[in-house]
Chains A and B, each alone.
Chain A
Amino acid sequence: MSCLHTINRSPGSNLLKSCLSVINAGDAILFIEDGVYYCSQELNLKGIIETVKIYGLREDMLARASLSKSTERVETIDMTRFVELCCEHDKIVSWF
């Protein structure tokens, strides 16, 4: 039973910390809206275990000029893939 966690606030919000304290191996994290700022520094993603996939929404990165700064661990996706991810996971937990 895997879960997709979405985070929509900047690193200053500490949402990732809350999310990581309850995450399971095999879950995925998707950064959207202001959450995409997490993707521009490796340091921000510290503590995410290897078995957790990390995604970032391309549209939001483009708007915020943070696509080019996105780190390698983050797979950038479009809206269509976002919908697919919602279907592929059993549950979605929104951190906001």
Chain B
Amino acid sequence: MNFINKVIPSFPLLLIAAVFIFPLLRPGLIVGGDWTFPSSNKELQVFGQRAFSIWGRLEIPSGTQISHNNLYPVQILARLWAGIGLSGVSFQKSTLFLTIIGIYVFSYRLFVKLTKSKFASIVGALSYLFSPIVFNYLNMGWNYVLLFLALAPLFVQIGLDYFEDGKSRHIIALGLLAAISFFQSQSIIWLPLIFICIFVSQTTRENLSKSILKLMLASVGIGLIVTIVHLPWLLLIVLHPNNILVSTSSVDLKRFSEVLSISDLLRLWGSLYNREFELAFPLSLSPFSYSPIIICIIAPLFSHLKNKLTTYLLMLLLVIIAPTLFINREFIAHIPLSTIIRDISRFLVITSLGVSLGIALALSVIRNKIFRVVICIMLIISASPFFLGRLYTLTGNPTPQAEEYRDFRAALLSIPEIENEPATKSIADKTNVFLPTAGFVFTRADHRFNREYWAVADVQSNFSPVASGIYFSEKSDFLVSNFALNYLTLSSNIDNLTTFFGVFGVDNLLYRSGLESTYKSTLDRDGILKRCQPFLPQGNSDWSITSLCLIKDAYPLIYSSITPQYSNESFTKLLPEFVNLKVRTVVLGCPEKLKEKSSICNIEKISDLAKTIPTLSITKISETKYRVGVENIKGKFILVLNQTYHPGWIIQNRSGERQDYPHVLVNHLVNGWVVDPATNQEKEDYIITFYPQVIYSRLLPISLISLLAMVVYLTHQSKQKNEG
């Protein structure tokens, strides 16, 4: 008996190791259906460094709008990891394995607290880990949702402690968890919902006024902590609302929810693109898929639940979250900024916790051993895809129609460390772009990956220290969208393509013949092979760079012009004007498509421009700050910063005074200023700065210190509590 008591607690860890960890210990980066992580040490550095920059460099060669740095605590951790020389793969696997263990451990601790039964808590925690949502998110590579699943039970436990004791340390702990969980932006909705569920379950007639007061205090405290920790980027988003917030509409919410059904939500199944668990579930066993929801509600039939009625209530409140939102999705879709929710099925993270809590509760009140065994068998069957080895192994196309194919499995991929190749080292300081690019990208050779929504290559280019890509989606800035659509039109001819990229300062196009864009781009592959030089043999990886197309005389980052053209034609029509890259053409004005979206397109003809072009000398101070020395000034001129237009870019004189020169859109994408120097002024030094970065850099240390102080305080409190 003693032996059994010792074995039972270690069994779950063995199970976790066998099902989740061992298969992923083989070499390679874990890549999911549509997301992945940095692979090499340098990629991890690029990812980590992003925590310190607010100028987004994700979408096009020269960067774009203000980035949402909600991930920055994770990125700082990644930067520290990279700093000690470890690779991205090790970072990804370590954090993923800890996350999986965390899902089990934190839910187990919560269930023990609420049910006072270790056996019931083990089964409940295992059902939480072996749930369809873990299966699907692991396969799609959405590790941040998994991390949220690990932190949610901890949040509930601290929330319950708070309503019991009402200590300020609980508010700080809850605030800290909420701030960290912001890596998954939906947590800003998920956690308040969970907190309200806790409040409702814990409130009685006797403690009503106290509970309301506690709720209000905690809400203010948590909100304040989240704001302090994320103020550096949140403030800038408020000042410059960007396209991610304004372009995706409420339609998105409904679109993602169209394939859902309330019956699937109740068995924790379903979401638009994440149906791996469902497709892997044996049809003959489908009645068992409803076992968890049935088991989780039966507790009152076996016991009076007098002491555990509040737990039962909490469980029910958590369970109905996803169905409630689904039923009211039309209404929710009309709420401003509801786009942050994206997809109703994501609320299963809360429902899933409720169902597992219900399972633990039911088992804690059922005394009949045979009935307990039957319940465990039903639960094992309901999680059968895990135990049938379908977590990482695809066994044929489960749906016969190719268009319905939605089954991805996480895989281990070797991505060549191209940043270490001598050839890439020689172009390391240049501006390079990966081809094919735009939209999602998948491999051409591997049929397992030869499907839409396969975005690994694209995401990988986001982490690359060698080159960037164009990540074009409905969330892209409208200028970037316009740029990407022009690229798609021009990609059928390599000469046009090099001209196009040359205008925007790209020195090299890196072609990977093993990859294909999901956008119907007619990339001139033959032209690339003729025009560009061979780079590396493809080898075993579709990610290898096979050709390098050098673009001679690409426009510099900063240049000037005194002969602008005024046109409302599209860039593709204007292309002949740009063919000679030695002549730096500047076009002011916008095609009709852009005019609808931007006031910066309304440009009037500039009079009194200088007759001779001034001489520039450029010094790069940082990625977002440049000193421009201008000599031989003979009058008005246009100063171009060849980075995506953003009102946050400002121009200052040598004394640091902001110059009020008209900020214009150049070549349908980049920044320009009509510089009007003082009379008889022959030379001047200007500073071009991305001003939001200045604010960000000043606020970030305050947030980091606050974050650190709260961690230290909580550690100290926890130590004191343990000693006490």
Do the two shown chains form a genuine complex with each other? no
The chain B residues found within 8 Å of chain A, CB to CB, are none
The chain A residues found within 8 Å of chain B, CB to CB, are none
